[in-house]
């Protein structure tokens, strides 16, 4: 039995609020259970030095947690003067995930900054960030099409992500913090609207997992991502 009574293959309640930050051309507040993340997409002319002159764009992501987002206060990384290993890893994952569905050539020499800030944390913040940021990115790119900065959107598909894991020997979808902290195996699955994999990261901190476990977890993740993409489409007013 899960702490909130959910079936093993069920997501927590999900809502995505488009345009949560009015001054931003692309933003969303995603909520998955008690986890809430503000996602924004900001466009900047130009690209990082190593990419200059190749006629293509870049999508990069930054991630943070508000100190008060968790019952136990999280020290501010700005105050510590450096970004921790976990944050780096998450930032890189979000960036890669969004680039996988963006045609960087069509974007032109521009950088999209994706910012994902967790305002309340109850597990699955990095996967919620990817799912919410995808909506913000769609809107920011559509706004560029609307102002004729781009001829058509460089987004080639949607992308969403979910966590799965093995808790008390049972494969489960969309772990809460309580479940995550005692999971034997933890896996993040990032997939496109078209059902192809972008990233899969499975980790057994305590113990190990078998080939069969891997198969069950990836199947569970694929189903979860499919549900999230359906929600993204509804929110964006798109057909499948």
Return residues touching a second copy (CB under 8 A). 21-24, 27, 34, 38, 40-42, 44, 62, 64, 66-71, 73, 76-89, 91-92, 96, 99-100, 113, 115, 117, 119-122, 191-192, 194, 196-211, 213-214, 218, 222
- Which C-beta is closer to a second copy: that of 7 or that of 48? 48
- Which C-beta is closer to a second copy: that of 204 or that of 231? 204
Least distance between a second copy and beta carbon 224 (Å): 15
- Which C-beta is closer to a second copy: that of 82 or that of 239? 82
Torsion sign across C-alpha atoms 82, 88, 94, 100 = positive
- Which C-beta is closer to a second copy: that of 7 or that of 64? 64
Nearest CA to 7 out of 210, 202, 159, 224 is that of 224
To the nearest 10 degrees (0 to 180), the angle between helices 125-146 and 211-236 is 40
Least distance between a second copy and beta carbon 171 (Å): 14
Least distance between a second copy and beta carbon 168 (Å): 19
Least distance between a second copy and beta carbon 207 (Å): 7
Question: Mind giving me the DSSP string for 109-168?
Answer: SEEEEEEEEEEE-SS-HHHHHHHHHHHHHHHHHHHHHHTTSSSS--B-S-EEEEEEEEET
CA distances from 185 to 12, 203, 217, 225 (A): 19, 6, 9, 19
- Which C-beta is closer to a second copy: that of 21 or that of 51? 21
- Which C-beta is closer to a second copy: that of 3 or that of 67? 67
Angle at 239 between CA 160 and CA 219, to 5 degrees: 35
Least distance between a second copy and beta carbon 213 (Å): 8
Nearest CA to 45 out of 191, 116, 138, 149 is that of 149
Q: How far apart are CA 198 and CA 216, in angstroms?
A: 18
Nearest CA to 97 out of 39, 184, 178, 50 is that of 39
Least distance between a second copy and beta carbon 206 (Å): 8
């Amino acid at each position: 039995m899960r702490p909130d009574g959910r079936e093993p293959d069920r997501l927590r309640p999900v809502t995505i609020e488009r345009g949560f930050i009015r001054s931003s051309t692309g933003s969303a507040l995603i909520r998955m259970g008690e986890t809430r993340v503000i996602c924004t997409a900001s466009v900047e002319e130009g690209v990082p030095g190593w990419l200059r002159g190749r006629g293509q764009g870049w999508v990069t992501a930054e991630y943070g947690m508000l100190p008060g987002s968790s019952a136990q206060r999280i020290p501010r990384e700005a105050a510590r003067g450096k970004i921790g290993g976990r944050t780096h890893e998450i930032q890189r994952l979000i960036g890669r995930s969004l680039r996988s569905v963006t045609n960087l050539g069509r974007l032109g020499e521009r950088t999209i900054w994706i910012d994902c800030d967790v305002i309340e944390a109850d597990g699955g913040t990095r996967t919620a960030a990817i799912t919410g940021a995808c909506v913000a990115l769609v809107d920011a790119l559509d706004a560029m099409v609307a102002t004729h900065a781009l001829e058509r959107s460089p987004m080639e598909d949607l992308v969403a992500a979910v966590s799965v894991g093995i808790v008390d020997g049972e494969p489960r979808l969309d772990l809460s913090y309580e479940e995550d902290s005692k999971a034997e195996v933890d896996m993040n699955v990032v997939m496109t609207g078209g059902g192809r994999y972008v990233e899969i990261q499975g980790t057994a901190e305590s113990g190990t997992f078998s080939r069969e476990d891997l198969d069950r977890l990836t199947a569970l993740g694929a189903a979860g991502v499919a549900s999230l993409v359906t929600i993204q489409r509804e929110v964006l007013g798109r057909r499948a």
